[in-house]
Amino acid sequence: MIPLLLATLLSISGSEPGAEAPGEPGGRGLAIKAAKALTVPLDGPQFVDNAVVLVRDGRIEAIGPTSEVAVPVGYDVLDVGDRWLAPGMVELHCHIAGTFDINDMVYLTNPGVRASTAVRPEDPKLMQGLAGGVTTVLFIPGSGTNIGGQGVLLKTGLDDYESMEVRNPGSMKLAQAGNPERWLIRPGRSFMNWNTRNTFQRGVAYAKRWKAAEENGGEAPRKNLQFEVIRSLYNREAQISTHTQIYQVANMTLTMVAKELGLPVFIDHGTFDAYRVAPRAKELGVSAILGPRAIDVPSPLMMMWAGTNPERIQGVAAGYQEGGLEMIGFNTDSPVIPQEELSLQASMGVRYGFRWDNLESIRGLTIVPAKTAGIDHLVGSLEPGKHADIIVVGGDPADPRNGVDMVFIEGERVYDAENGRRRW
Amino acid sequence: MIAGCPHETSVPISARAGGGAPWRRILRGALALGLAGPLAAAADTAPPSGGTFAIRASKALLCELDGRQAIDGALVLIDEGRIAAVEAEHDLELPEGTPVLDAGASWVMPGMIDLHSHVGGPRGYNDAVFQVNSGLRVSSTAIAGNARLRRPLAAGITTILYIPGSATNVGGQGVLLKTRPGSFEEILVRDPGSLKIAQGDNPKRWGYRMNRALMNHHIRTALRQGSAYAERWEAYEQGEAERPERRLHLDVYRDLRSEEIAISTHTQYFQVVLATLRILRMEFGFPTFIDHGSFDSWLLGGVAERIGVPAILGPREVMWPTNPGRFPVDGRAEGCAWGFQQQGVSLIGFNTDAPVLPQEELPLQSAMGVRYGFDNSRMGAVRGLTIVPATVCGVGDDLGSLEAGKVADLVVLTGDPSDPRTSVQWVWVEGELVYEQAAGERPW
C-alpha cells in the first residue's frame, strides 16, 4: 500500500483504519461500473458496453454488461461513469525499474547476470509509468553485450520487491546488432553470432543433462549458475527477449535462435526493415514487440544499412501486419521513450498504417505482450480469474489525449488522479 | 517583407505565391484539371495543384485569431496560391469549371508551424567561437527540402523557424522556411526569422564554463549595444542624426526594435524565465517569446501575459514531481501548457526542438498537452500548432489560419490533428500539392 493513497481507499471502503479495502486480498468485494470495458481476451469479443467488473481478493471474479452480471450483496460499487476500463498495460522493454547498473560488460555473454538485483520499488520513473497505465514491466539488462543477462517481470506500483515480482527470470536478454558491436575489441556480427550460438549450445546441453537426470534418475549434474537460465528457456518457462532490428539481424533471430536452437524467443525492437521477416515469424510462432518509434524512414544512410526502398515511408507495425503476423505489441525501451508513453507507441503505429479493426492497438499493449512473456494466465486481459490489474481512462487508451485516472493492481487502487497527487 | 530590414535576401511572400516550381512537374506530372465538378479522391485521379481549385471536407478547422474556429461541411477555394474563400458548402458558389477535390469525411486545416526546429540543414548551426553571435545567420546552412524535412512535410508541418543551437547566449539569427522542396528563395518566408537567445543550461558549457550571472551580464551588454545601434539608425531615418556606420552583427537589433521579428528564447525554469521577462522584455522592450518554458516556469504565466510575452512549449511539456531539491514540487505532475493556461496566457503554442523530438511529432506535443490537463474545449491544441505560432513570429497575416487572402498552405487529414492516430493525406503549400499519401509507395 502506498501510504499517501491510504486515505483514498478508506474513503471508498468506509472501513476502519487498517482494514483491507474492497477488492484487495482479504477485503470485501468491489464492483467497478463503466461505460465501456476493453476486455481484449486472446480470442472472442474484445469489449463490453455498460460493463461491470467484480473484483475480489485481488482477482477478477466476473465481468459483463450490467444487464447480465449482478452485483452481489455486500460489494462496494465504484461507478466511473463515462470512463472506460482496460487491462493494465504490459511493457516488455523497460530499463527504469531501478538503478541503471544493468549493463555489465565484463564478458561478451553474461547469462548469469540478473537485472533483479537493481530493482528499486517505487522508483520515481516507474511511478510515472504507472500513472500512464503500465502495471507490468519486463525490466531487462542493456544491450552492451550479446547476452546481457536475465530480465525480471515486475508489477509496478507495489511497494516491496516480493510483491512486485511476477517471475524471475522474466527473460534472457539477447542483443544481436548495433550496441554490442561497441564491446571492447569491437566484434562484428559473424563473431557475435558465433559466440552467442556457442553459449546457447552449451546451455542447452546443460539443460538436457538436467532433464535426463530428472526423468531417468541418476546423479544430478553439477549446478552451473551461468546456465540455469537456459534451463528455464529449454523448459519453456522463460523467453529470450531479443534486441534485434534490421531484416538481416531479425532473420538471424528467427533462423538461429527460434529454428536452429528451438528456444522460445520474441523480437524486441524489430525496427527499420525487419518487418520483412513477418511471414517467417508467424510460421515459427514468434511475436514482434515493436519500438521505440516504429517507423522505417527513407533516409539514404539508413537505407544503405537496412536495404529498403528509399522512396517508402513504412510504418513498422503496419509492415508486420501486412506480412500476416498477428502477435504484434509495442514497447518504449524506457528511458529511450518515457515509460508513460507506452500507449502512444500504439497510437503512432495506427498513424503509420496499423489497422485496429479488432482493437489491435489495445491488444498490442496488453494481451499480446502478456502472451508473449507467458503470463497471459495472470494479466493482459479482463477475464475472470486473472489479476485485477485495471486502468480507468477518459476514453480510448490509444488516444493519448485521454489521461489515466485510476490504476488498480491486484485489486489495490495504487493510483488515483483525483486525490490531490495527480500525475496524469 | 520586413520594413527597414537591411537583408536583401528577404523575398516578400506575395511575390512568390503561385509561382510555378520545376519540382512540381517532377512530383505530379502534367495535371489534367479541365474537369467540372468533383474529382473522386481515387488514386488514379490527379488531385488539383496550382491555379484555381477547391477542396470539400467534412470539417474545416479555420483557427482564426479572433473569429471563426471551425465549419462543418466546408468548401475552401484556392486561387493562385492564396485562399480565395472558406465557407460552408451551401454558402459558397464556385466559379464554373473549378476542379474540386472531395475529401469525403476528412478534415482540412492550415499547414502547421514549428517555431523551434534545427533540421532546416544538416549541421553547422551551433557556432560557439564567441559567447554572443548576433550576426550569425543560420540561413547560410539551410538546405531546402533536405531529407529531414520530408517526414514533417508528410505530417502537415509546412513552416519551420530554423534556429541556431543554444551553445552560446546569443546563437544568431533563425530563418523562417517552408518545409517543401524547392530552391532556397522559393522556401524562404523571412530572414531573419528571429534572434536566438539562450539563458540557462546549454550555454553554461561554453569555454571556461559560465554561470547565469555572467551570462545575463553578457546578454544585457549585447542588447544594450544593439539597442543603441538601432536608435542611432532610427534617429538617422528621422533626419535627426548622421548616417551611422553599418555594423553587420547589430543589424538584427534594428528588426527587433521595429518589432519586425522577435527573440526566440531558450528559457526553461522559473528563475531563467524571470530573467527572460525582466531583461529582454521589460528592460529592453524587445518582442520576445518563451521557447521551451518547461519545468516550473509556467508559474510566471501571469507576468508574461501582462507584458505580452507568448509561450511556445516543448519538447515534452510536463514537470514530474521527481526532483524536489530543484523545484518546488508538491507531488503532482504539472502539465506546462495547463500551467500557462491556468495563469491566463492567451498565446500558447507547441514546439519539438527537432531533432530532440522528431519534427513530424509536432501535433503530438499538443496532444500530450491535453493529456496533462490543457483545456482543449476551444481548440487550443490546434491553435497552438497554427495561428498561435504564426502570430508569435509575426507571419499571422499570411499563415496560420484558413482565411480569404492568406497563403494556401493546407492539410487534409483523417480527423483531429491533435489525435496522433490521425494521418495526413494531402498537403499543399502556396496552392501547390507537395505531398500525397496515396501516391507512390507511402502507406503513411
Alpha-carbon span B426 to B413, nearest angstrom: 7
Q: Cell triple for residue A220?
A: 544430478
B311 or A100, which is more confident: B311
Per the structure, the complete domain to which residue A25 belongs is given by 3-87+385-416
| CB-nearest partner of B371 from A299, A361, A401 | A401
* Residue A192 shares a structural domain with residue A324: yes
Q: Determine, for residues A421 and B331 on separate chains, whether the beta-carbon distance falls below 8 Å.
A: yes
Cell numbers of B236, please? 538617422
Name the residue facing A351 among B335, B373, B420 (closest C-beta). Answer: B420
Torsion of CA B392, B396, B398, B403, to 10 degrees: 140
* Nearest residue of B to residue A298, measured between CA atoms: B147
Compute the distance between CA of residue B25 and CA of residue A254 in angstroms, rounded to an integer.
45
Do A329 and A285 share a domain, yes or no?
yes
Asked if B333 and A423 come within 8 Å (Cβ–Cβ), the reply is yes
> Does residue A237 sit in the same domain as residue A318?
yes
Phi and psi at residue B341, in whole multiples of 5°? Answer: -65, -45
Chain A CB contacts of B373 under 8 Å are 403, 424
Q: Do B163 and B217 fall within a single domain?
A: yes
B253 and B350 co-located in one domain: yes
Mean pLDDT on B370-382:
94
Distance CA B199, CA B264 (A): 11
- The answer for A 114-173 residues in CB contact with B (under 8 A) is 124-125, 128, 131
Identify whether A142 is part of a domain. yes
Q: Which residue of A has its CA nearest to B418?
A: A401
Say if residue A25 is preceded by a cis peptide, omega within 30 of 0. Answer: no
Q: Measure CB to CB from residue A353 to each of B335, B420, B444 and give the nearest one.
A: B444
pLDDT tens digit string along B231-261?
A: 999 999 999 999 999 999 999 999 999 999 9
CB neighbour class for A73 (10 Å; exposed up to 12, middle 13-18, buried from 19): exposed
In a domain, B133, yes or no: yes
Same structural domain, A212 and A340: yes
CA distance linking residue A411 with residue A191, whole number of Å: 49
DSSP class per residue in A130-194: HHTTEEEEEE---SSSSEEEEEEEEESS-SSHHHHEEEEEEEEEEE-SSGGGGSTT---HHHHHH
What is the pLDDT of chain A when averaged over all its residues? 91
Residue range of the domain that includes B164: 112-399
State the smallest CA–CA distance between residue A133 and chain B in angstroms.
Answer: 13
Residues from chain A contacting residue B420 (CB–CB below 8 Å): 344, 347-348, 351, 400
Flag whether B258 is in a domain: yes
For residue A141, is it within any domain?
yes
Biggest distance spanned by C-alpha atoms of chain B? 69
State whether A311 and B419 contact (CB < 8 Å): no
- Tell me: the pLDDT tens digits for A230-248? 999 999 999 999 999 888 8
Let me know the angle formed at the C-alpha of A123 by A117 and A127, rounded to the nearest 5 degrees. 135
DSSP state of A3: G
- Is residue B178 in some structural domain? yes
How many C-beta atoms surround the C-beta of residue B15 within 10 A? 10
Chain A stretch 367-406, residues whose beta carbon is closer than 8 A to a beta carbon of chain B? 398-403
Give me the sign of the Cα torsion angle B102, A348, A239, A275. Answer: positive
Residues in chain A with CB shorter than 8 Å from the CB of B367 are 400-401
Chain B interface, Cβ < 8 Å to A: 147, 150-151, 154, 316, 318, 320-322, 331-333, 335, 358, 364, 367-368, 370-373, 376, 381, 418-423, 440-444
Please enumerate in sequence order all residues whose Cβ is within 8 A of that of A125, keeping only pairs 6 or more positions apart, or say none.
A96, A334, A335, A338, A339, B322
What is the number of residues in chain B?
444
Q: What is the mean pLDDT of chain B?
A: 87
Question: pLDDT for B190-237, tens place per residue?
Answer: 999 999 999 988 999 998 888 999 999 999 999 999 999 999 999 999
Name the residue with cell 523530438.
B357
Q: Could you tell me the pLDDT band of residue B4, with boundaries at 50, 70 and 90?
A: very low
Q: Do A313 and B442 touch (CB under 8 A)?
A: yes
Which CATH number do you get for residue A46?
A: 2.30.40.10
Residues 6+ apart with CB under 8 A from B220: B279, B283
Instruction: Inform me whether the pLDDT recorded for A358 exceeds 90.
Output: yes
Identify whether residues B65 and B91 lie together within a single domain.
yes
- A-B CB pairs within 8 A amount to 89
ipTM for the predicted complex: 0.77
**CB pair distance less than 8 Å for A313 and B358:** no
More confident residue, B18 or A114: A114
A92 in helix, strand or coil? strand
Tell me if A350 is assigned to some domain.
yes
- Is beta strand A59-65 parallel, antiparallel or unpaired with respect to A288-290? unpaired
Nearest-by-Cβ selection for A311 from B364, B381, B441: B441
CB proximity list for A388: less than 8 A, separation 6 or greater:
A23, A53, A55, A58, A59, A60, A408, A409, A410, A411
Same domain for A126 and A58? no
Instruction: Check whether the bond before B12 is cis (ω within 30° of 0).
Output: no
pLDDT of residue B320: 75
Same domain, B318 and B347: yes
Per-residue b/e over A278-295, b at no fewer than 16 CB within 10 Å?
bebbbebebbbbbbbbbb
Q: Are B223 and B314 in a shared domain?
A: yes
Longest CA span, chain A? 68
Cell of B30: 502534367
| B247 and B358 share one domain | yes
Same domain as A140, residue A240: yes
> In this structure, is the dihedral angle defined by the CA atoms of residues B17, B18, B19 and B23, taken in order, positive or negative?
positive
Residue-level pLDDT at A421 = 62
Tell me whether residue B5 is in a domain: no
Q: According to the model, what pLDDT value does residue A83 have?
A: 97
- Report pLDDT for A324: 97
CA atoms of B367 and B380, how far apart (whole Å): 10
pLDDT tens digits, A247-296? 889 999 999 999 999 999 999 999 988 999 999 999 999 999 999 877 77
Please tell me which residue of chain A has the smallest CA distance to B323: A124
Q: Report if residue A229 sits inside a domain.
A: yes
Q: Which positions in chain B touch A338 (Cβ < 8 Å)?
A: 316
Residues A396, A351 within the same domain? no
Q: Do B332 and A422 touch (CB under 8 A)?
A: yes
Pair A306, A313: CB distance under 8 Å: no
B419–A350 CB contact, under 8 Å: no
CA angle A21, A24, A30 (to 5 degrees): 75
Percent of chain A at pLDDT > 70 equals 91
Interstrand relation of A76-79 and A84-87 (parallel, antiparallel or unpaired): unpaired
| Same structural domain, B64 and B105 | yes
pLDDT in tens, B20-54: 333 232 333 333 333 334 444 444 468 999 999 99
**A43 and A81 assigned to the same domain:** yes
pLDDT band with cut points at 50, 70 and 90 for residue B444: very low
Q: Are strands A84-87 and A30-38 parallel, antiparallel or unpaired?
A: parallel
Claim to verify: residue B300 and residue B444 sit in the same structural domain: no
- The whole-angstrom separation of Cα A205 and Cα A316 is 36
Residue B18 lies in a domain: no
* pLDDT tens digits, A211-226: 999 999 989 999 999 9
Whether residue A241 is found in the same domain as residue A137: yes
Residue B1 belongs to a domain = no
- For residue B157, the cross-strand partners are B112
Residue B163 lies in a domain: yes
Which residues of chain B does A309 touch, with a Cβ-Cβ cutoff of 8 Å?
441
C-alpha cell at B237: 531615418
C-alpha grid cell, residue A153: 517481470
CB contact under 8 A, B321 and A403: no
How confident is the model at residue B11, as a pLDDT?
Answer: 33
CA distances from A247 to A255, A293, B180, B240, B371 (A): 12, 17, 31, 72, 36
Residue B341 forms part of a structural domain? yes
Chain B residues with beta carbon closer than 8 angstroms to that of A293:
358
Rounded to 10 deg, the angle between the A225-234 and A189-216 helix axes is: 80
Q: Is the pLDDT of residue B103 over 60?
A: yes
* Res. B433 pLDDT band, cuts 50 70 90: very high
- A394 → chain B, closest CA residue: B371
Q: In CATH, what number is assigned to the domain containing residue B157?
A: 3.20.20.140
pLDDT of A100 reads 82
The whole-number pLDDT of residue B299 equals: 92
Q: What is the tally of structural domains in chain A?
A: 2
Report yes or no on A424 lying in a domain. Answer: no
Triad B220, B224, B229: Cα angle to 5°: 150
Q: Based on the fold, state whether residues A76 and A151 are members of the same structural domain.
A: no
Question: A405: nearest CA in chain B?
Answer: B371
Nearest CA to CA, how far is A91 from chain B (Å)? 20
Give me the amino acid identity at B4: G
**In terms of domains, do A246 and A129 share one?**
yes
**3-state DSSP call for residue A65?**
strand
B255/B235 same-domain check: yes
CATH of the domain at A337: 3.20.20.140
Lowest mean pLDDT among A303-317, A384-398, B8-22, B428-442: B8-22
**Same-domain status, B342 and B315:** yes
Cβ-Cβ contacts under 8 Å, B321 against chain A? 124, 423
Kindly state whether residues B309 and B279 are assigned to the same domain.
Answer: yes
- Find the CB nearest A297 among B151, B331, B376: B151
CB proximity A348 to B under 8 Å: yes
> Is the distance from CB of A402 to CB of B371 less than 8 angstroms?
yes
Higher pLDDT, A304 or A276: A276
Q: Do A399 and B419 touch (CB under 8 A)?
A: yes
Answer yes or no: do A169 and A257 share one domain. yes
In this structure, what CATH number is given to the domain that contains residue B47? 2.30.40.10
Query: pLDDT per residue over B319-334, tens digit each?
Result: 776 665 666 666 778 8
Of B370, B422, B441, Cβ closest to residue A309 = B441
Q: Is residue B71 located within the same domain as residue B120?
A: no
SS (HEC) of chain B: CCCCCCCCCCCCHHHHCCCCCHHHHHHHCCCCCCCCCEECCCCCCCCCCCCEEEEEEEEEECCCCCCCCEEEEEEEEEECCEEEEEEEHHHCCCCCCCCEEECCCCEEEECEEEEEECCCCCCCCCCCCCCECCCCEHHHHCCCCCHHHHHHHHCCEEEEEECCCCCCCEEEEEEEEECCCCCHHHHEEEEEEEEEEECCCHHHHCCCCCCHHHHHHHHHHHHHHHHHHHHHHHHHHCCCCCCCCCCHHHHHHHHHHCCCCEEEEEECCHHHHHHHHHHHHHHCCCCEEEEECCCCHHHHHHHHHHCCCCEEECCCCEECCCCCCCCCCCCCCEEHHHHHHHCCCCCEEECCCECCCCHHHHHHHHHHHHHCCCCCCCCHHHHCCCHHHHHHCCCCCCCCCCCCCCECCEEEECCCCCCCCCCEEEEEECCEEEEECCCCCCCC
| Residue to test with chain A: of B332, B379, B444, most A Cβ within 10 A | B444
Instruction: Give me the pLDDT at residue A5, please.
Output: 42
Q: Count of domains in chain B?
A: 2
| Count of other CB atoms within 10 angstroms of residue B286 | 23
Rounded-to-integer distance, Cα B149 and Cα B151, Å: 6
Q: Chain B residue with minimal CA distance to A344?
A: B420
